[in-house]
Amino acid sequence: MTAPSARSSLAWASKSPSTGCNWTSEVTQDLSPWSPQEFEARLRSLESRYHIHHPFNRRLNAGALQPFQVRGWVANRFYYQCRIPVKDAAIMSNCDDRATRRRWIDRMLDHDGRAPYQGADAGGIEIWARLGIATGLRREDLEMHRHVLPGVRFAVDAYVNFARHAPWQEAVISSLTEMFAPRIHKDRLAGWPSHYPWIEAGGLDYFRSRIPLASRDVEHGLEVAMQWCTTRERQERAVQILGFKLDILWAMLDAIEKAYPDNLPQAQQP
């Protein structure tokens, strides 16, 4: 069997996510594992495929988008935000290691919130909803996912399905795109206030809140990856899994970019 190309990872992911893909074994079974440093460097080298480089994101962070295009992005990303704790619950349900579950549960609470569900404890989903409202979206439209595009829904659901069916360690590895997230949040915090002054400043709280959380998540995710990927075969699979997740984020922006062209008639704008 031949190796999939850089952007065809969904084929193997849907093929056998629960038992693990075996195409790498033919190629790599005799190879010694990379050192932890080289393994991490190979994962990090996939940054070039992160959605920070997508043309739509470049325009978003350069201030080149019209308000309806920003709203379209925020409303569609809200679907991702809402599915993240469901994805994390799927990982927990497959995880038989109590120590890991004790740490993992924080990821769900980060998004769903913690009692008394106010201020910073409101949770990421609520804080993202406030971003949506600050851009001019109606809460009800957001919560009913009225603007969510089919391509975005398919991409996000593929991530949740992967987490449901893959070994939990592989699903943890798929979250490692967060290695690249702090920079994208910082870009937004630095640029949006001058590019999009019509968005009330508090609307950007979500991005501020995620920077330390993403770093904590990545530290844990890399620990799991290092412990699990003791063979070259598993290490190469980890690289493929990260590629699959990068494709999900990229595909979301492809769908968003296509749906909200500059000349979209006003009646169709979110």
Ligand X SMILES: O=C(O)c1cc(C(=O)O)c2c(n1)C(=O)C(=O)c1cc(C(=O)O)[nH]c1-2
Note the residues at the interface with ligand X (CB under 6 A). Answer: 84, 124, 175, 177-178, 181, 184, 210, 249
Q: How far is the CB of 175 from ligand X (least distance, A)?
A: 4
Q: How far is the CB of 79 from ligand X (least distance, A)?
A: 13
CA distance linking residue 20 with residue 32, whole number of Å = 19
Q: Are 43 and 108 in contact (CB under 8 A)?
A: no
Nearer to ligand X, 28 or 242 (CB): 242
Q: How far is the CB of 181 from ligand X (least distance, A)?
A: 4
CA distance linking residue 222 with residue 229, whole number of Å = 10
CA distance linking residue 240 with residue 20, whole number of Å = 12
Nearer to ligand X, 233 or 243 (CB): 243
- CA 132 to chain centroid, in Å, comes to 18
Question: H or E element: which one contains 232?
Answer: helix 232-259
Nearest residue by C-beta to ligand X? 177
Nearer to ligand X, 25 or 42 (CB): 42
Nearer to ligand X, 31 or 62 (CB): 62
Q: What is the DSSP letter of 263?
A: T
As given in the structure block, the two tokens for residue 124 are: 């990421």
CA distance linking residue 26 with residue 39, whole number of Å = 20
Q: How far is the CB of 44 from ligand X (least distance, A)?
A: 13
Q: Are 5 and 140 in contact (CB under 8 A)?
A: no
Q: How far is the CB of 268 from ligand X (least distance, A)?
A: 25
Nearer to ligand X, 23 or 162 (CB): 162
CA distance linking residue 242 with residue 250, whole number of Å = 12
Helices then strands (H, E): number in the chain?
Answer: 13, 0
Q: How far is the CB of 248 from ligand X (least distance, A)?
A: 8
